């Protein structure tokens, strides 16, 4: 399709759907695998269980992403053939190439359409939804399937040595369908996208020992596994979360009480509670579902969005803000008029 420079379009979110593995990993399961306790995990993170893919038997990121997009397409009342672009936000592709989006397109029979993966770690979905808005608004694409999908449990050390990171992460995927509309009132109101590679050493997956913040002391078992300085990431998140919310509100000229839902990356319930307190938000306005899924990286925000749609909390005409932070370091927000 040729971009139409002469006019612009509104963008609406017309459907959503999840792709979650069936297998659950509870805190009680973790207690059997390492030195930890159910109380410690719940108190420090709010997490009760997470989902885990059966990676060795072929249940991978693309499997979950395909399931999520199929459910979102059904929810939107369209057909896979109506899509002209598939984007997957992920940092855990099945393999370096082909992209997850190409695999999803093939699974859904969407031969010949555009397909791209975006990697901004936990901020991937939030960065992508702002970018997709611009691609549709300018006329380049009409109907886009955007999926947040990650399987970080492949990179977790489930021994006591890895307990800081292993208790946090779960696998999952969740998708939205975005479509062009002639109603110019619908779409992005404001956004913020930030990155600081200078902070890359507090949250990473080293590909070899040279990537590790302390190469000389990096152990074999740490290669390919999540390295996380938990307290440093926590400090970064507690600072950046409210900052980026305020920045995005200021750009829009709106106050927090004019936003109906703050759809936040689920990294730790304590980080979310701090943001709730800072802006005086009710539980209805800032949903926490980390207890059910843990931190699902790029899938986390759309999983909350889907939950809010499914239980009827999200209504036409509302204003919603997606907010995330993650490895990179990256952080951002995307404010929408539905
Ligand atoms: O998408 C972004 C991803 N990451 C995040 O958002 C992570 C942000 N950080 C956090 O959520 C928290 O830092 C954690 C939940 C990871 C850790 O909580 P914390 O309160 O910062 O704990 P800590 O790392 O400061 O450790 C406190 C103590 C230590 O013991 P000592 O040295 O005080 O004796 C740890 O060894 O807790 C110990 N500990 C554990 N104990 C039981 C660390 N992990 C565990 C565990 N079970 N799983």
Question: Is residue 1 assigned to a domain?
Answer: no
Q: How confident is the model at residue 6 (pLDDT cuts 50, 70, 90)?
A: low
Segment 161-167 mean pLDDT? 94
Check pocket membership of 237 for ligand 1, CB cut-off 6 A. yes
Question: Is residue 49 assigned to a domain?
Answer: yes
In which region does residue 77 sit, left (phi positive, over 0), alpha (psi from -120 to 50) or beta (all else)? left
212 is catalytic: no
What digits encode the pLDDT tens for the residues 43-100? 999 999 999 999 999 999 999 999 999 999 999 999 999 999 999 999 999 999 999 9
Please, which residues have CB within 8 angstroms of residue 44's CB and are 6 or more apart in sequence?
268, 270
Joined tokens for residue 65: 């992403």
Please tell me the distance between residue 252's alpha carbon and the centre of ligand 1 in angstroms: 36
Query: Among residues 93, 200, 66, which one has the least CA distance to residue 151?
Result: 93
CB 150 within 8 A of CB 90: yes
Please tell me the distance between residue 228's alpha carbon and the centre of ligand 1 in angstroms: 10
What digits encode the pLDDT tens for the residues 20-41? 999 999 999 999 999 999 999 9
Please report the atom of ligand 1 found closest to the CA of residue 268.
Answer: 11
Joined tokens for residue 120: 């901004």
Question: Is residue 327 assigned to a domain?
Answer: yes
Check pocket membership of 167 for ligand 1, CB cut-off 6 A. yes
Q: How many domains does the chain have?
A: 2
d(CA 97, CA 64): 17
Same domain, 203 and 278: yes
Same domain, 139 and 225: no
- Print burial letters for 30-39: b (CB count within 10 Å at least 16), e (below 16): beeeeebeee
218 is catalytic: no
Residue finishing a domain among 141, 157, 181 = 181
3 vs 316, which has greater pLDDT? 316
Joined tokens for residue 214: 């302390």
Question: Is residue 4 assigned to a domain?
Answer: no
Segment 125-131 mean pLDDT? 98
Q: How confident is the model at residue 1 (pLDDT cuts 50, 70, 90)?
A: very low
Work out whether strand 203-204 and strand 227-228 pair parallel, antiparallel, or are unpaired.
Answer: antiparallel
Same domain, 239 and 161: no
265 is catalytic: yes
Same domain, 194 and 165: no
Question: Is residue 69 assigned to a domain?
Answer: yes
Mean pLDDT, rounded, of the chain: 96
The one catalytic residue in 18, 71, 94, 295 is: 295
Check pocket membership of 45 for ligand 1, CB cut-off 6 A. yes
Same domain, 129 and 217: no
Query: Among residues 3, 15, 18, which one has the least CA distance to residue 299?
Result: 18
Check pocket membership of 244 for ligand 1, CB cut-off 6 A. no
Question: Is residue 2 assigned to a domain?
Answer: no
In which region does residue 191 sit, left (phi positive, over 0), alpha (psi from -120 to 50) or beta (all else)? beta
Residue finishing a domain among 114, 149, 181 = 181
CATH code (residue 319) = 3.40.47.10
Check pocket membership of 174 for ligand 1, CB cut-off 6 A. no
d(CA 202, CA 92): 18
Same domain, 139 and 62: yes
Segment 243-266 mean pLDDT? 97
Domain containing residue 308: 187-337
Q: What is the CA radius of gyration of the chain?
A: 19
The one catalytic residue in 265, 268, 301, 306 is: 265
CA distances from 101 to 66, 91, 162, 324, 330 (A): 9, 12, 31, 22, 22
Please, which residues have CB within 8 angstroms of residue 132's CB and are 6 or more apart in sequence?
11, 85, 87, 141, 144, 146, 178
Please tell me the distance between residue 54's alpha carbon and the centre of ligand 1 in angstroms: 27
Among 33, 160, 231, the mutation site with the greatest number of ligand 1 atoms within 8 A of its Cβ is 231
Same domain, 249 and 221: yes
H/E stretch holding 256 reads none
Same domain, 142 and 205: no
Question: Is residue 326 assigned to a domain?
Answer: yes
Please report the atom of ligand 1 found closest to the CA of residue 45.
Answer: 15
Query: Among residues 227, 102, 224, 92, which one has the least CA distance to residue 166?
Result: 227
Same domain, 60 and 128: yes
Work out whether strand 24-26 and strand 319-326 pair parallel, antiparallel, or are unpaired.
Answer: unpaired
What digits encode the pLDDT tens for the residues 279-292? 999 999 999 999 99
Same domain, 326 and 312: yes
Residue finishing a domain among 164, 181, 198 = 181
* 7 has a pLDDT exceeding 90: no
Please tell me the distance between residue 45's alpha carbon and the centre of ligand 1 in angstroms: 9
Name the closest-CA residue to atom 36, ligand 1.
164
Question: Is residue 223 assigned to a domain?
Answer: yes
DSSP states of 128-185: HHHHHHHHHHTTS-SEEEEEEEE-GGGG---SGGGHHHHTTB--EEEEEEEEEES-TT
Same domain, 73 and 117: yes
Please tell me the distance between residue 44's alpha carbon and the centre of ligand 1 in angstroms: 7
Work out whether strand 143-150 and strand 85-89 pair parallel, antiparallel, or are unpaired.
Answer: parallel
Check pocket membership of 245 for ligand 1, CB cut-off 6 A. no
* 5 has a pLDDT exceeding 90: no
Same domain, 333 and 205: yes
């Amino acid at each position: 399709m040729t971009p139409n420079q002469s006019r612009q379009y509104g963008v609406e979110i017309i459907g959503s759907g999840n792709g979650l593995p069936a297998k659950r990993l509870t805190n009680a399961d973790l207690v059997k695998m390492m030195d930890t306790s159910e109380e410690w995990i719940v108190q420090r993170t709010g997490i009760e269980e997470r989902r885990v893919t059966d990676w060795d038997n072929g249940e991978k990121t693309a499997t979950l992403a395909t399931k999520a997009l199929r459910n979102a397409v059904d929810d939107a009342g369209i057909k896979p053939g109506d899509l002209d672009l598939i984007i997957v936000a992920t940092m855990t592709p099945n393999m370096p190439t082909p992209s997850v989006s190409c695999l999803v397109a093939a699974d859904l029979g969407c031969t010949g359409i555009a397909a791209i993966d975006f990697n901004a770690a936990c901020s991937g979905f939030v960065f992508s939804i702002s970018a997709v808005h611009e691609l549709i608004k300018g006329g380049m694409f009409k109907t886009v399937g955007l999926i947040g999908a990650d399987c970080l449990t492949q990179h977790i050390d489930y021994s006591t040595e890895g307990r800081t990171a292993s208790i946090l992460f779960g696998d999952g995927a969740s998708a939205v369908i975005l479509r062009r509309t002639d109603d110019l009132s619908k779409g992005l109101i404001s956004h913020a996208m930030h990155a600081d590679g200078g902070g890359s050493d507090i949250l990473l997956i080293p590909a070899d020992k040279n990537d590790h913040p302390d190469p000389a002391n990096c152990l074999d078992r740490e290669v390919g596994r999540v390295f996380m300085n938990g307290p440093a990431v926590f400090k970064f998140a507690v600072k950046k979360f409210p900052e980026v919310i305020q920045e995005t509100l200021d750009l829009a000229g709106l106050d927090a009480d004019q936003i109906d839902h703050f759809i936040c990356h689920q990294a730790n319930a304590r980080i979310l509670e701090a943001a709730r307190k800072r802006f005086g938000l009710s539980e209805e306005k800032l949903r926490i579902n980390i207890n059910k899924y843990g931190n699902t990286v790029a899938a986390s925000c759309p999983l909350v969005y889907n939950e809010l749609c499914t239980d009827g909390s999200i209504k036409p005409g509302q204003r919603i803000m997606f907010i995330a932070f993650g490895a990179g370091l990256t952080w951002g927000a995307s404010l929408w008029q539905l």
